[in-house]
Chains A and B, each alone.
Chain A
């Protein structure tokens, strides 16, 4: 029995349609690389397309759209944390925002 907040599972047709959209998006991802107009915005375009694919997979194939909201929370919480950690890592890794070396630096020992 579906719990509260749970919807019926989609049909095979829905899954196939999602698969078709994913294939089209993948073709677009490969395609934009060959279109010179996109070169200036290549990375944001690819990130946006990947995000759409990611969303489709977790919503349909991982059933988050149909399952209880509790699972969306369990997925969304760590996902948000992962995004924050990755952003922190990028800041650290590229070093421009860490004032490396300023005021004597953060210790050059070791």
Chain B
């Protein structure tokens, strides 16, 4: 690991690499929590009339599973790579605002803990039960979330938790945009950026434009619940459809926030293990940018069933089908990258190719939702659950695992076991198809989603059992991965600078990199700086030791202190204690004040 050791050094770190690792371990822990929730859901649905959990707990499980996976696992797992890899790929010593980066992480961690505290916070609210977790779905449709229908603290936890997490995402979004635009090494023009960094940039623009929308929607809801406002109350002349519009205006760009980083990872892994440049780099980059723009024009396809009218239905149907074009372009380019390449079947490549295959299936079922008449049959059935899991598990998770196997040697200095990795891949691949493919049929046969049990005469019992077996297999696969991670700490083969023969800058420096990253900031002359191309020889690696001392800023306590103010403030709203609100604001202001006046050169 880099720099000094000990708990204090981790708590105060502003090093993008350490923050990247913190993001990884925290997000992976939340991934396990979300996975456990999924297994409980599947245990309940394994047989008709299941009795593993009751209806109320089931509502909490599916709400927290979705919320956890989207906001606490997939987004921050991508953030782990943004943090660790992007500065290395652009030849920078750190991100533009290292302390803001630390702040983002601590806000994320505290927001995640706040949200999950709802599992055991019942006694605090004299609820009569232990768990008062959010129970209105990860989409939190109004007016189900109004105080009248959700009187307990459950929805408050969800609403306030998401507000906290939004602060983290926005701070990170601005940080990475500035980093990518301003901290590029000499010669690293925009069209020489590695594809992963490009997709990170597009993702961050989506974050800073989409998160304000849900922030506004949640503020409206907060006013409704805490101060008796009527933003979503039909009796007062409002319409709950406002929530749906605002939520999906955020929600659909959010889907691309989740998938674009995985697409970026795959665009790095495939060329390395095919020993070929990415086919159509420019088109792949522009397709990503186009997806970023077009992602804003499709939100109402989540709302066909509310009766938008034929013109709106036609427009959103057309835009949804159109967005498949840049996505398809990427898929063809990935396949063309593999075509004729010198392919090495590493675990990372397995996951990357698995991504393409699974994402195609998810994309195709997505196109069927784009047709309003078909969508009306599919809405709120397990068919949609199948689609989202092919996209977010078969797509995002596979892409993220490809990234983990690819960059883990760089991040820790040790190679993950390929044998365990392949076992992990195949168990995951078989498990996910067993778990999610039957859901297409379960949905088309008429089983609605979000119901805690079903009757045997619905005719979906066997398919549900198969799905549960698949989920268990995914659980086993994840355990294999955990064993691989654990074993690699002591038994993993030491990784050289460049175990895979990669073309990008991160492979030019030691694994793990020193605190200053590059002994000398490289000058980039080509899109593939470490490969010999038609016009360029490979870039020489920077010297092992810096020719002159490199100043690396020390840690800071103030980002975590400032971050601590947010959950305290949220707790004030939750418990209706004004003094807590003052305390939260005081902690935050004190942290920000000390942070602002902390000497820069420490």
Query: Bound pair: A and B?
Result: yes
State the A residues within 8 Å of B (CB).
70, 74, 78, 81-82, 85, 88-89, 92-93, 95, 97-110
Q: Interface of chain B, helix or strand or loop or mixed?
A: helix
Contact B311 A98 (CB under 8 A): yes
A82–B309 CA distance with the chains assembled, in angstroms: 23
What residues of chain B lie closer than 8 Å to A101, measured between beta carbons?
309
Residues of B within 8 A of A108 (CB): 307
Residues of B within 8 A of A105 (CB): 307, 309-310
B296-340 interface code vs A (CB 8 A; 1 in, 0 out): 110010001111111111000000000000000000000000000
**Which residues of B (86-106) have their CB < 8 Å from a CB of A?**
none
Docked Cα-Cα span, A93 to B248, in Å, equals: 13
22 intermolecular pairs with C-beta atoms under 8 Å apart: A70-B181, A81-B293, A85-B296, A92-B245, A92-B308, A93-B241, A93-B245, A97-B311, A98-B308, A99-B309, A100-B307, A102-B309, A103-B310, A105-B307, A105-B309, A106-B372, A107-B304, A107-B305, A107-B376, A109-B305, A109-B379, A110-B379
Q: Is B407 an interface residue (CB 8 A)?
A: no
Partner of A110 from the list B313, B373, B376 (CB cut-off 8 Å) is B376
What residues of chain A lie closer than 8 Å to B242, measured between beta carbons? 93
CA distance A95 to B308 in the complex (A): 8
Contact with A along B336-355 (1 / 0, CB 8 A): 00000000000000000000
Question: Which B residues form the contact surface with A (CB < 8 A)?
Answer: 181, 205, 209, 241-242, 245, 249, 293, 296-297, 300, 304-313, 372-373, 376, 379-380
- CB-nearest residue of chain B relative to A81? B296
Known contacts A106-B313, A106-B372, A109-B376; A78/B209 CB under 8 A = yes
Nearest CB of chain A from residue B254's CB, rounded to whole Å? 15
Additional A-B contacts beyond A88-B297, A107-B307, A110-B305 (16; CB < 8 A): A70-B181, A81-B293, A82-B209, A93-B242, A97-B311, A98-B309, A98-B312, A99-B310, A99-B311, A100-B308, A102-B310, A106-B312, A107-B305, A107-B376, A109-B307, A110-B380
Q: How far is the CA of A109 from the CA of B380 in the complex (A)?
A: 11
CA distance A75 to B264 in the complex (A): 23
A82 to B249, CA, bound (A): 11
Q: Which residues of B contact A107 (CB under 8 A)?
A: 304-305, 307, 313, 372-373, 376
Residues of A within 8 A of B311 (CB): 97-99, 106
Nearest chain B residue, comparing its CB with the CB of A100: B309
B181: A residues at CB distance < 8 A:
70, 74
For the complex, give the distance between the alpha carbons of A104 and B311 in Å. 12
Specify the chain A residue showing the minimal Cβ separation from B212.
A82
Residues on the A chain within 8 Å of B305, using CB? 107, 109-110
